[in-house]
Amino acid sequence: MSNRITARRARETAAPRIDRDPAIITSFLSDAAHVPGGFAAGVAFPKTEADVAALAAGAERILAVGAQSSLTGGATPRGELVVSMRSLTRLGPINTDARGVATIRAGAGVPLTTLQTALAASNFYYPPVPTFEGACVGGVISTNAAGAATFKYGSTRPWVMGITVVLANGDVLDIRRGEVAASAGGAFEVELTSGALVTVAIPTYRMPDVAKLSAGYYARPGMDLIDLFIGSEGTLGVIVDAELRVIPRPRRAVALISCDSDAPAIAVTTALRQEPAVSAIEYMDAGALRVVPDDAFARAGVPRPPAGSVLLMTQLEITEDADDEMFGRLQTILASCGVDDPGTIAAPGDERGAQRLFELREAVPASVNALVAAAKAVHPDIEKTAGDMVVPFARLGDSLELYRRAFESRGLDYAIWGHVSDGNLHPNVIPRTLDDVMRGRDAILEIARGVIAMGGAPLAEHGVGRSALKQRLLRELYGDAGIDQMRAVKRALDPEWKLAPGVLFPPGS
């Protein structure tokens, strides 16, 4: 396998019109992080690879965006030309190769909801979806997005079989998994259409061995070139389409289980992780449940659990002849862990019941965000202060103790929830004053350092973006030398710092 790839030219075309109507631009000035102060040179709506290439070649700085669902400010412009990928929505047929591997080609602007609907019509499914299924294909690849089912299926990376990427100079790379690998010396070579040969040295830092990671550039000896672009947050190239691996659609059941404390919840999770039918387990702590309004429980058809309780929500994939056996095993596990609650179960086929339980889960972050917004209305400088932490599962109990100690020692109100089967939880401050935010940032930094010491990472699934705190956490994870190596990769492929400047690290030469 070679370490060299040759770029090609896109079809020549005039660059799409750049819209500078303030009303249009305003709708693109913030992402889901709601970072204030976004501004843009204009907005363009490419419809083809050639359009993207023409924009990249001609613009001074560009920021490619999809659904702008970033929680890190990575899709909030800072003066760039915003390139909206929403019109790149081509969706090909499902293809199955001689080995029985099924794939589908999807444009970068295809929302995951659209992808899943199209796949469901043929009884197929794309597993590694994040919680927000309104995200677009290009965005989830650029952040190596992950979600609840990462426990069974992994994050986005192993499901991407090929990508088409437009480089900063307008050249195009067609990258297929398994065709280009790093040399023994740890480098790739990219032959540009100008004839120039660019050498890209792989960073030498060691990535933590955790279930999910969205923390700068992927780096492993002998790595595949495709993995350098997956998770690079649009800083090395603009993904215009991708070939994604898909599987036959599983039969799904959902069980909501109440535990009276963390100890039995961890015991149940540990036992359920051994069950092949389990694809995901989510956790909501007492602080998270306390802020959820009563009507959210009523809509889900479940009683509010007693004060101090925590909830687990388990997704099960069950064959048609194994329902009774699996539900029986679930009851045995609960009894063995000292859990009296038999669980609220949405059986296979009860999609409405499953959706009600998912909505209860989503009521947790929605309720916390509403409290942050209410505090911000009184104190405009208040910001959401939260972590995206992942540890090896064996350290889950230690990590929960760390999160609680960091918050409680500072007198902070907080909520914790997340994908417990992966060891990935989101400790959130519930601020009432600006001082809470300041103390919360100190707590998150303490938590991050503790997580790194456990062999984990403080950047699990949401990426780094332009968040000053997350960029600091990236530096805590890989050190100054690691950031310098990332910057060298960026400089090799984007010497003018044109693509998503300020994402991952401050712009510079």
CATH code where residue 45 lies: 3.30.43.10
Question: What are the phi and psi torsion angles at 459 (to 5°)?
Answer: -140, 85
> Same domain, yes or no, for 235 and 354?
no
> Same domain, yes or no, for 135 and 230?
yes
Looking at the domain assignment, is residue 187 inside a domain? Answer: yes
Other Cβ atoms closer than 10 A to 349: 12
> Same domain, yes or no, for 300 and 435?
yes
> Same domain, yes or no, for 186 and 308?
no
Looking at the domain assignment, is residue 363 inside a domain? Answer: yes
Looking at the domain assignment, is residue 2 inside a domain? Answer: no
Q: What is the pLDDT of residue 132?
A: 82
> Same domain, yes or no, for 176 and 198?
yes
d(CA 265, CA 322): 25
Q: What is the pLDDT of residue 489?
A: 98
Q: What is the pLDDT of residue 32?
A: 79
Q: What is the pLDDT of residue 442?
A: 96
CATH code where residue 367 lies: 3.40.462.10
Structural contact between residues 389 and 458, judged by C-beta atoms closer than 8 angstroms: yes
Closest residue by Cα to residue 458 from 482, 433, 427? 427
Residue where a domain stops, chosen among 421, 453, 485: 453
Amino acid in the structure at residue 319: T
Q: How many domains does the chain have?
A: 3
Q: What is the pLDDT of residue 374?
A: 93
- Give per-10-residue mean pLDDT for the chain (509 aa): 96 91 92 84 96 96 92 90 97 94 97 96 93 90 90 96 98 98 98 98 96 96 98 98 96 95 97 95 97 95 94 92 85 94 90 94 94 91 92 97 98 97 96 96 97 97 92 96 97 97 86
Q: What is the pLDDT of residue 509?
A: 52
Residue 344: domain span: 252-386+389-453
> Same domain, yes or no, for 133 and 217?
yes
Residue corresponding to tokens 């204009």: 42
